[in-house]
Amino acid sequence: MKRNLTTLANTEFDVLIIGGGIYGAWTAWDAAQRGLSVALVEKDDFGSATSSNSLKIMHGGLRYLQHADFKRMRESIRERRILMQVAPHLVHPLPCLMPTYGHAMKGREALGIALLMNDVVSFDRNAQLDDPQKHIPAGRMLSPQEVQRLVPGVETKDLTGGAQWYDCQTYNTERLLFSILHSASKAGAEVANYAEVVGFEKQKNRVVAARAKDVFTGNELAIRAKLIVNTCGPWVDLLLQRANGVKAAPKFFPSKTMNLVVRRQLIPEYAVGVSSKFEFKDKDALISKGSRALFIVPWRGYSLVGTTHLPFTGDADNFNITEEDVHTFMKELNDAYPPAALQREDVSFFYGGLLPMVPSNNGQQGDVRLVKHYTLCDHEQEDGVAGLVTVVGVKYTTARDVAEKTINLVFQKLGKQPPACRTQETPVHGGKIERWNEFVAQATNRRPRDLEADIIEPLVRNYGSAYGEVLEFMAEERRPTATITPQSSVLKAEILYNLREEMALKLADVIRRRTELGSAAYPGDEAVRSCAGLMAAELGWSPPRIQQEIQDVKAIYSTAN
């Protein structure tokens, strides 16, 4: 996967995708796999916005029962299964638990019915999954005693038991995105980060090219394409304004979403839902839950806590998480689950992004209702601008499905019969694993002699069957230790791989997104300096550039005032 702006400037593509988040990545792979010539550009680094800031749960849609939205449930169940099938190293079953209280909507009877309906709707949830490790068991009801054992300190007043079901968790959402980008690149797509689209070229009413700027040099290039797909997330309206020349009715009303990363596992083994004291009103719901659920999710020795939503105004480029945001969310969790007893020092990191919400005239937190369905807009039909399609996604889990529908429309706009989509059955890069547990055991046994056994499993979890490509770079790293620091499991060879095969151009690209060095917490000065030294030697950074890169990384882990 190489960044080649010259090729982008000298080729006319069938489709140009603008935006390198999860929706853009899936769209690029689907298009390339179906035989289209594809370009994808991203103004920052791939997945640097909302796509790398999530609770890392691949939802099967149990919550959609509240709206009797069975269509959306079926889509989510199918896509969850597909993700386990095509990315077996990254997506694994996750047990979930919700305590039940009394005999009303949060009671044992109501949730028991919900689990039964979920099992009926997801009757084929394990179809085509040959690996037993990937099987999703049926839901079951737990006794009050079981819930008290699994959720230490749970509120016992009116406790009638608990509901247990399974969803999936992604070990590393950033690596999933890069696996998809690798797949797109191997299928012929030209992809480039740090290439910002600043304008368009038009012939009459048709967009024929995008003008992109190399963020590092300032040089501009024109990327010609028969059709342009706008997958820019919170920036879709800015891009449309540049295409139309006028400010049109917005398609993305942003809400500020946030998850916390906690240094300890508050509740091991299970993702547990606890009821917030904040009353949430969803006028679209057939059944009102009264208050929203916060989820405490075990992840890599940490806990993820989410999710909170607030209205957002202003420029998406200036999005940030404030110290007040963190403290407000901590208080909400402590009120909902007092045993957490979170202090500020417990919060190692915070994820934030912008998701589309239903517009409201009221700025209260309770009025944030996320958009439930994606938007796929053909601008030739909507506003007379040919050659341009916009996608506004709402959910990480179903991005592949939306990409499939998008490319079907692209073929229609190109006047071609669309070949069958195969992303639902083709393993992503690194996904050629038949039995997960057996693969990890074999990789551990076959490891290089100078690597400890506990290094291999996280390497395989991140890179899957492609982990050998990373190990090939160990031959170049003839240093006293193979890892970034003696305490880290991240190999120096990974950094070289990220640089040469994954377009890492900034220190944050490696620390925050391509490795697990800093995805849960600031990795420490020693690790940051070690990583910066490797990148400086490879990219020719000057001492001032090294210091600037280090400062930029530290800023990621600091809240705004």
Name the average pLDDT for the chain.
93
Q: Average pLDDT, stretch 16-26?
A: 98
- The alpha carbon of 44 is separated from its chain's Cα centroid by a whole number of angstroms, namely 16
Domains 5-50+174-252+372-414 and 74-168+253-367 share a fold: no
**What is the pLDDT at residue 246?**
58
pLDDT digits (tens, 9 = 90+) for 529-555: 999 999 999 999 999 999 999 999 999
**Given a cut of 70, is residue 247 above it in pLDDT?**
no
Does the CA dihedral 379-380-381-383 come out positive or negative? positive
- Looking at the DSSP bridge assignments, the partners of residue 351 are 259
- The alpha carbon of 47 is separated from its chain's Cα centroid by a whole number of angstroms, namely 7
**What is the pLDDT at residue 543?**
97
Quick count: other Cβ atoms within 10 Å of Cβ 205?
12
Instruction: Look at strands 190-192 and 38-41 and give their pairing.
Output: parallel
Measured CA to CA, the distance from residue 380 to residue 68 in angstroms comes to 34
**Given a cut of 50, is residue 363 above it in pLDDT?**
no
**Given a cut of 60, is residue 281 above it in pLDDT?**
no
Percent of residues, the chain, with pLDDT higher than 70: 95
Measured CA to CA, the distance from residue 401 to residue 421 in angstroms comes to 10
Q: Average pLDDT, stretch 17-26?
A: 98
Percent of residues, the chain, with pLDDT higher than 90: 82
Phi, psi for 216 (deg, rounded to 5): -85, -40
For residues 312 and 256, is the Cβ–Cβ distance under 8 A?
Answer: yes
- The alpha carbon of 171 is separated from its chain's Cα centroid by a whole number of angstroms, namely 11
Tokens of 550: 């280090």
Architecture of domain 5-50+174-252+372-414: 3-Layer(bba) Sandwich (3.50)
**What is the pLDDT at residue 314?**
86
Rounding to the nearest 10 degrees, give the CA dihedral for residues 516, 522, 523, 524.
170
- Looking at the DSSP bridge assignments, the partners of residue 293 are 275
**Given a cut of 90, is residue 47 above it in pLDDT?**
yes
pLDDT digits (tens, 9 = 90+) for 429-474: 999 999 999 999 999 999 988 888 899 999 999 999 999 999 999 8
**What is the pLDDT at residue 282?**
52
Map out the domains of the chain as residue ranges: 5-50+174-252+372-414, 74-168+253-367, 436-556
Is 436-556 CATH 1.10.8.870?
A: yes
CATH superfamily of 74-168+253-367: D-Amino Acid Oxidase, subunit A, domain 2 (3.30.9.10)
**What is the pLDDT at residue 365?**
47
Phi, psi for 465 (deg, rounded to 5): -70, -10
Q: Average pLDDT, stretch 151-165?
A: 95
